[in-house]
Amino acid sequence: MRLEGKVALITGAGMGIGEAIARRFIDEGARVCISGRRQELLEEVASSLPAGSVITCAGDVSKDADVERMVKTTLTLGGHLNVLVNNAGIHPPGSVTGLDSAAWRQTLEVNLTGPFLLMKAAIPHMIQAGGGSIINIASLAGLRCLPGMPAYCSSKAGLIMLTQQAALEYGPSKVRCNVVCPGGVRTATVDGTIGELAKKLGTDKTGVYVHLSSNVPLRRVAVPDEISGLCSYLASDDSSFMTGSVIVIDGGAAVVDVSGIVAANAGVTAI
């Protein structure tokens, strides 16, 4: 119960990583406002959680009015806001020359401007409460490049820098800001995007994940609960001396030298 007495706002919490974080926070004693664009998903999650532990607020993180409403709704849980988790995100594919400019702008609005607006709205309340913890969910793609994903990678790289900037500015006010960079995570959203790849590889969705993680040291992708545990630690007082940290949680993917893997797969042990 290391989050007992804390109040949290979590975006993108209708499914996947955001839902897992909400469940973990509540299991550890927090009260939570879950936000997302689809009210029906939020209600489904809320109905499976203990009464009085959760409140819903549907909205778009890229819209100022919706963000203000999310924060105000969270404050109804006890008049204070201790933890903000910026998890909402989108990832339209397309190369630099092939991506529609509207998709580029929307990705930056949701993935980068959204967290900025929420931090801007939440930080004054955290300062008033004596401090708080902001956890921004970026991606390994904010540190490494993914083919055909310039908008997503750029937005997550920007989120890393935004997090560190806020850590610098608001540390004296006891507001901690850290960023989590997951590698591959199996969620319903990702499942919905890999059907075509499964056909090309002649396998099912599980086979796709096996293929994608074949060179990752742990040889698998994560499940959302494995990300939620780290977020619980960052939200708690156990991480009281952590701010500005960029935490990679990727099964070891970031340590792999792609050239070395090609050589190893060809039977060459040293290059």
Q: How distant, in Å, are the alpha carbons of 50, 83, 156, 157 from that of 240?
A: 28, 13, 25, 25
Mean pLDDT, range 192-213, rounded to an integer: 87
How is residue 84 annotated by DSSP?
A: E
Query: Catalytic pick from 152, 170, 209, 233?
Result: 152
Q: Where do the domains of the chain lie?
A: 7-185+222-255
Contacts with 152 (C-beta within 8 Å, 6 or more apart), sequence order: 89, 90, 91, 92, 107, 111, 139, 141, 146
| The pLDDT of residue 120 | 98
Whether the per-residue pLDDT at 81 is higher than 80: the answer is yes
Strands 31-36 and 7-10: parallel
**Could you tell me if residue 16 is left (phi over 0), alpha (psi between -120 and 50 degrees) or otherwise beta?**
left
Q: What is the mean pLDDT of the chain?
A: 94
Report the CATH number of the 7-185+222-255 domain: 3.40.50.720
Quote the CA–CA distance of 157 and 138 in Å, as a whole number: 8
Nearest in space to 248 (alpha carbons), one of 269, 215, 222:
222
Max CA separation in the chain (angstroms): 62
**Active-site annotation holds for 152:** yes
| The pLDDT of residue 257 | 86
Of 137 and 191, which is predicted with more confidence?
A: 137
Quote the CA–CA distance of 185 and 189 in Å, as a whole number: 10
| The pLDDT of residue 263 | 65
pTM here is: 0.93
Residues 88-146: pLDDT tens digits? Answer: 999 988 999 999 999 999 999 999 999 999 999 999 999 999 999 999 999 999 999 99
Burial class (CB in 10 A: 0-12, 13-18, 19+), 129: middle
Burial class (CB in 10 A: 0-12, 13-18, 19+), 264: middle
What's at 213, amino acid-wise? S
Of 263 and 138, which is predicted with more confidence?
A: 138
Q: Which residue has the tokens 């930056």?
A: 108
Of 111 and 186, which is predicted with more confidence?
A: 111
Whether the per-residue pLDDT at 270 is higher than 70: the answer is no
Residues 28-76: pLDDT tens digits? Answer: 999 999 999 999 999 999 999 999 999 999 999 999 999 999 999 999 9
| The pLDDT of residue 194 | 81
